[in-house]
A and B are shown apart, each in its own frame.
Chain A
């Protein structure tokens, strides 16, 4: 993507994407011939105050944050592994059927940050609600599957119905589209092992749990013969191409050393960091993410598996608020850190999760595997509700919610709106995009 990508270009991308781009207000670009839902309100006209006139957080009506230069933009994808229950995150307290479905796990209206007379964000997300969240409702697959692994595979590859057979991951393709080919890493997953979502055709992508060990690979004082020889040998081990797994080990080794060179020293916490970020996996991963963005390492996409278990088959009501609370605390500190560093307009946060959970709770006080869920976007995005909330009274044959927004549509919306990458570059069959989230 050219570095002088302008807002005009951006709008052109938007309109080229679906032929009916939204340049203001929220437009539901009817996917799969669904009628525009009555609930598709947007930032342009949010219900931002309560009937009594008091201000309500969540749907912020103030001017949205201006997005930064697209060439410097970063996408942070937080994966809520295990299957996050949409109905406990954006709670449809005012929609018919909710309290009938959920005898053990319903969230009371008093525990919500109410957004309007239909839905509210779970109170455990209070800090994020106060910042303003764009919620995309009903995200899922047109032909859902109950398997974690089948649905993770689809989400990771951006394959709505499981038939596209992409050899790459969605974030990997996005990295191919937006990355500087000379950067040591365009996309990064915060974790110990490579992630299928980041498999790319050409862009270098890496997996890293922390940055503290870079000094073992690079930066030896030449006077320190032992250390310098060790590091020099590591580099020489991997400098030549080879076939098969040997070649792969060497290639990743080269990328790692080159990336280590770029990030050496950044893991040193800036003043106050250690005090603010939660000690959770997510908190520490986001602390590293902020440091990476600030260091201008060429990383454009950071994938953060939350490292928590959203697979709440039992005791959902006890476990889920804790998970949301960790998300709320960690992302709030992260966004605050970005603001302090002057980076807030460059970083968009999005959530994913392989599926939502069953509409009815089970006898274990939990929720079995389901289908459609919801997703959240934070940062330079117009807060509001997007997409149609799934019906709570017309379920599918397996007692599941019916998706209203394809997972590929959700991805395409972010790809076009944030990076200006048209859906046609990323999907075999370009999905519809949602309007109104950006700009």
Chain B
């Protein structure tokens, strides 16, 4: 059984001063939902590649599931997972569950909390497992059958939604299939339904499933399982998925050479996700590309809540546009510049001002240095440092100073970058 990710175990080994706290913070920002206050310091002089290895070696968190069954489920479920992701011990596995939720997304808008939780369990199981097994499982997952309309799809006039998106968004990318492939796929994926009479068990009804085979992506398939195999064996699959995983951690799509390297490692292990992720995180570009994307709303929220140390309610994530289990559309949450918006700035200022109450830094000789380290910011612009210094000494009381510094450190421009 693998150990959970904890920085305490690292610190026990490495007690000396840190070599490069900014780089360690970068690794934790990208691979976990941290850094949480004190984590970087606790790593001692661990090198960034050593930290990457520790994160790769750590086992999954296994949080107790929420007890569903009331009207509150629609709020309880996202709030539960937000707290799980916000736990300081949440590591690479939790991050990959979040990645897959955005990639193979489904929504409370078209299913129900118990089925989203069932899908979530599936993603936890396969998050660092085998991609083909993940795709076979998600294809007949109840919430996915609801979300992409596979539920009750009849071979005589099949629903095309899943067939298109499984190729375009999940596995191959746009342009790798024809409209005829969409139609053939729709036929092959038909016949499945969520049996509401029987605990919402996913069931195959041979009477309205595919009765014969179809040419599909240049191969022959006779059912959903074979169709997923054809997709996973398609030459575009490994490079496409490798690019999506790379972008999640590195902040941009890989160049052709890197993509080919990653795809080869992924394909050679029969689409082993852990192998792909390790290849991404060990690639030199992972440590080089810093601050090259904004934090998403959820990343910002969890980091800010950790710094402010207040029980900030998750409602602000509605205004910021990123509530787990409620993606905006079938492609999950778009990334990049979307998160640097006027609306996000409003929401961040509101969150910071309404929730900052603390006195921890007030006694320090260098309160600005302390608050920046608490926020995991070891490299900030002169402007940001100067503004924090001026603010710190513009108020008399220690309590006011601490409040202001907490509110300001999470609204400074650098805190908005991943």
Using a CB–CB cutoff of 8 Å, the interface residues on chain A facing chain B are 81-82, 145-150, 185, 191-195, 206-210, 213-214, 216-217, 225-227, 229-230, 233-234, 236-240, 242, 244-246, 248-250, 252-253, 255-256, 259-260, 309, 311, 313-314, 361-364, 366, 368-369, 398
CB pair B404–A226 under 8 Å, yes or no, is: yes
Whether A363 contacts B341 in the complex (CB less than 8 A), given A192-B319, A225-B394, comes out as: no
Closest CB of chain B to A360's CB: distance in Å? 8
Complex: chain B residue closest to A213, CB-CB? B346
Name 29 A/B residue pairs within 8 A (Cβ), A-sorted: A82-B329, A147-B174, A185-B342, A192-B319, A192-B322, A193-B334, A208-B342, A217-B349, A226-B404, A229-B391, A230-B391, A230-B404, A233-B388, A234-B411, A244-B292, A246-B381, A246-B417, A250-B413, A256-B346, A260-B346, A309-B109, A311-B329, A311-B330, A313-B160, A314-B149, A314-B152, A362-B160, A366-B149, A368-B159
Interface centre among B157, B342, B343 (most CB of A within 10 A): B342
Whether A364 contacts B337 in the complex (CB less than 8 A), given A193-B344, A208-B346, A213-B347, comes out as: no
B233: CB under 8 A from chain A?
no
Residues of B within 8 Å of A364, CB to CB, are: 149, 152-154, 157, 159
CB pair A246–B341 under 8 Å, yes or no, is: no
Complex: chain A residue closest to B386, CB-CB? A236
Complex: chain A residue closest to B154, CB-CB? A363
Tell me the bound Cα distance from A419 to B38 in angstroms.
56
CB pair A245–B343 under 8 Å, yes or no, is: no
Complex: chain B residue closest to A235, CB-CB? B387
Residues of B within 8 Å of A208, CB to CB, are: 341-343, 346
Closest CB of chain A to B301's CB: distance in Å? 12
CB pair A209–B411 under 8 Å, yes or no, is: no
Residues of B within 8 Å of A229, CB to CB, are: 391, 394-395, 404
Residues of B within 8 Å of A146, CB to CB, are: 164, 179, 182
- Tell me which of A206, A260, A309, A363 contacts B157 (CB under 8 A): A363
CB pair B353–A230 under 8 Å, yes or no, is: yes
CB pair A191–B321 under 8 Å, yes or no, is: yes
Tell me the bound Cα distance from A206 to B345 in angstroms.
11
CB pair B158–A362 under 8 Å, yes or no, is: yes
Within 8 A of A (CB), among B375-418: 381, 383-384, 386-388, 390-391, 394-395, 400, 403-404, 407-408, 411-414, 416-417
Residues of A within 8 Å of B411, CB to CB, are: 234, 237
Residues of A within 8 Å of B320, CB to CB, are: 192
CB pair B350–A237 under 8 Å, yes or no, is: no
Add 20 more A-B contacts to A237-B408, A362-B159 (CB < 8 A). A149-B174, A193-B321, A193-B343, A193-B344, A206-B342, A209-B321, A214-B346, A229-B395, A233-B388, A233-B390, A246-B414, A250-B413, A252-B342, A253-B413, A313-B149, A313-B159, A314-B149, A363-B156, A364-B157, A368-B161
Complex: chain A residue closest to B341, CB-CB? A207
Residues of B within 8 Å of A311, CB to CB, are: 161, 329-330
CB pair A216–B414 under 8 Å, yes or no, is: no
CB pair A194–B337 under 8 Å, yes or no, is: yes
Tell me the bound Cα distance from A213 to B338 in angstroms.
19
- Tell me which of A194, A239, A361 contacts B340 (CB under 8 A): A194
Whether A148 contacts B341 in the complex (CB less than 8 A), given A229-B394, A245-B292, A362-B158, comes out as: no
CB pair B338–A363 under 8 Å, yes or no, is: no
Whether A213 contacts B350 in the complex (CB less than 8 A), given A192-B319, A192-B343, A256-B342, comes out as: yes
Tell me the bound Cα distance from A133 to B179 in angstroms.
34
Tell me the bound Cα distance from A191 to B381 in angstroms.
30
CB pair B341–A194 under 8 Å, yes or no, is: yes
CB pair B417–A249 under 8 Å, yes or no, is: yes
Tell me the bound Cα distance from A253 to B353 in angstroms.
16
B132: CB under 8 A from chain A?
no
B291: CB under 8 A from chain A?
yes
B294: CB under 8 A from chain A?
yes
Residues of A within 8 Å of B151, CB to CB, are: 314
- Tell me which of A147, A217, A244, A313 contacts B291 (CB under 8 A): A244
Closest CB of chain B to A397's CB: distance in Å? 8
B331: CB under 8 A from chain A?
yes
Residues of B within 8 Å of A260, CB to CB, are: 346
B246: CB under 8 A from chain A?
no
CB pair A255–B342 under 8 Å, yes or no, is: yes
Closest CB of chain A to B51's CB: distance in Å? 23
Tell me the bound Cα distance from A227 to B354 in angstroms.
11
Whether A193 contacts B338 in the complex (CB less than 8 A), given A216-B346, A237-B387, comes out as: yes
Complex: chain B residue closest to A246, CB-CB? B413
